[in-house]
Structure 1
Amino acid sequence: MSCTTLLDTLTLASGDARLILVPEAGGAIAAWRVGGQPMFHESGVTPGPDWNPLAMANFPLVPFSNRIGGGHFRWGGAEYRLPPSGLPDRHAIHGVGWRRAWRVVEAVADRAVLRLDHENDADWPWPFVAEQHFQLTGSGLDIRMTATNGADIAVPLAFGMHPYFDAAGAHLDFAATQVWGSARDGLPLHADTPGPAEDFRGGLAVAATDLDNGYDGWTGLAGIAWEGRRLALSITSDLPCAVVYTPPGAAYFCFEPVPHSNNALNLGDRGQAMPVAAPGETIAARVRFGTRAREAAR
């Protein structure tokens, strides 16, 4: 007989909305439902000791988003090489927060704060303290993210979100000035004006796309509506970029509000640079996921 130890969850409630957090599993969200309707994609996997962050509904991207090519970059005249992140490529990806246990520092009925204290290690060479502030309301979910530089020099430091959404019947709507063409290993090659298959202004059916691309010049507004579902979703953020991942045949897709271009540390001035935090400085970002009746969705 085997016994599986499940990770502790933290449930927030507001009206008919429920948010289930799994602090030990990368500070991730396991589920967000409103009136019983899932607003994020749920894998159905119950987090245990061998939890997989990719099976969560949303996880944080800190201190960087997406890939650093080969895990290699230069900063302040020094060369750094990060180990691969365990995915089937050679790159460091998504930072360290999604693979670390976070702790609860505040929790009430509809609000919680999770914190991660990172010491410099092989996965990221500088210390930082990151927090996720969750506020659940009857009309949506607000996430405020902060990261404070614990190093004695100015370093790159960024925070984004990696939510998953149900792909079936989904239409995604957003605008951005540029889309990055990607190599087979996911690294950006060149930026251009979005073409018809990449331009989501006015909405595109997710099932008709096959993308793993970064977008610069995002307006900070996006919408998702599902055929046959009562509620649609709006996304607002002060982050300047987004990543769209729509694997063909998958039950999910991703629209990720992010702070910089993919592989920004190796792009020079060709893309949206990573934010840089002075010693003791705190960088902050916000993402709001709002719900509304589908008839009112754009």
Structure 2
Amino acid sequence: MPIPMPPTGEQFEIRSGNARATVTEVGAGLRAFTVDGRPFVETFSADVRPPRGAGCVLVPWPNRTTGGRWTWDGKPQQLALTEPAGGNAIHGLLRHTLYRPADQAPDHVTLHAVIAPQPGWPVPLETSVRYSVDSGGLTVTHTVRNVGTAAVPFGVGAHPYLRAGVAETDDCTLTLAATTA
């Protein structure tokens, strides 16, 4: 009989001193990060899908691709519309992918995944993300390697919901001095 797996897969707990992080196998997401017990990201249970993509790694594009359409090498591409209500392809191809552990120690974990050529994404990519904790906090390092024969643009993003001190995130307002071009 198969062992039930939580929606976030295996949980990789890393720690150093008073810094601790939990990284998920599915989506290589940052599920928790604390220092001295104080949370620095919004956490969620391993038994639920990450709310609003919390903590997920976004490869090979962050954000949204309107209509799922883009052009590569002069050819139109059509990605699956993973945000159907908005008519968009959202946050890459790996949010629901099982990453394989490539390196693990008490203070770090490196997870690896491959993007195979598929409708809307013609070039294979290998990607890894390394999470490490130390006295300085949390370091996250993303690596992407094109293993195909043609150049392809790509992007990498992360989707942590950062905590603003002890206040609940929903109770905070961010004010920026900004202009548009």
Q: Give the secondary-structure state (helix, strand or coil) at the position aligned to 1:88.
A: helix
Offset, 1:58 = 1.1
**Cross-structure match for 1:112:** 109
Whole-angstrom distance in 2 between the partners of 1:38 and 1:56: 18
Task: Report the count of equivalent residues.
Answer: 172
Specify the code of the residue in structure 1 equivalent to 2:105. Answer: V
Q: Deviations over 1:178-214 (max 9, x none)?
A: 5xxxxxxxxxxxxx16xxxxxxxxxxxxxxxxxxxxx
Specify the code of the residue in structure 1 equivalent to 2:14. Answer: L
| TM-score, scaled relative to structure 1 | 0.53
Structure 2 gap segments, 5+ residues each: 164-168
Whole-angstrom distance in 1 between the partners of 2:173 and 2:107: 29
Is 1:62 the counterpart of 2:59 in the alignment? yes
Q: Give the secondary-structure state (helix, strand or coil) at the position aligned to 1:98.
A: coil
**Cross-structure match for 1:35:** 36
Contact 2:109 2:131 in 1 (8 A): yes
Contact 1:9 1:21 in 2 (8 A): yes
Q: Give the secondary-structure state (helix, strand or coil) at the position aligned to 1:122.
A: coil
Whole-angstrom distance in 2 between the partners of 1:139 and 1:174: 27
| Higher normalized strand content (fraction of residues) | 1
**Cross-structure match for 1:22:** 24
**Cross-structure match for 1:99:** 96
Offset, 1:88 = 3.0
Give the one of 116, 119, 124 matched to 1:122: 119
**Cross-structure match for 2:14:** 12
Contact 1:40 1:57 in 2 (8 A): no
Contact 1:19 1:33 in 2 (8 A): yes
Whole-angstrom distance in 1 between the partners of 2:111 and 2:159: 16
Contact 2:31 2:54 in 1 (8 A): yes
Q: Deviations over 1:59-113 (max 9, x none)?
A: 1111111011100111211111111114532110111121211110000011111
Change over 3 Å in CA distance of 1:154–1:4 after alignment to 2: closer
Contact 1:149 1:157 in 2 (8 A): no
Whole-angstrom distance in 2 between the partners of 1:37 and 1:137: 15
Whole-angstrom distance in 1 between the partners of 2:104 and 2:28: 14
**Cross-structure match for 1:149:** 146
Specify the code of the residue in structure 2 equivalent to 1:46. Answer: A
Contact 2:77 2:121 in 1 (8 A): no
Quote the sequence identity (%): 26
The higher-RCO structure (CA 8 Å, 6+ apart) is 2
| TM-score, scaled relative to structure 2 | 0.84
Offset, 1:52 = 2.2
**Cross-structure match for 1:251:** none
RMSD after superposition:
2.3
**Cross-structure match for 1:250:** none
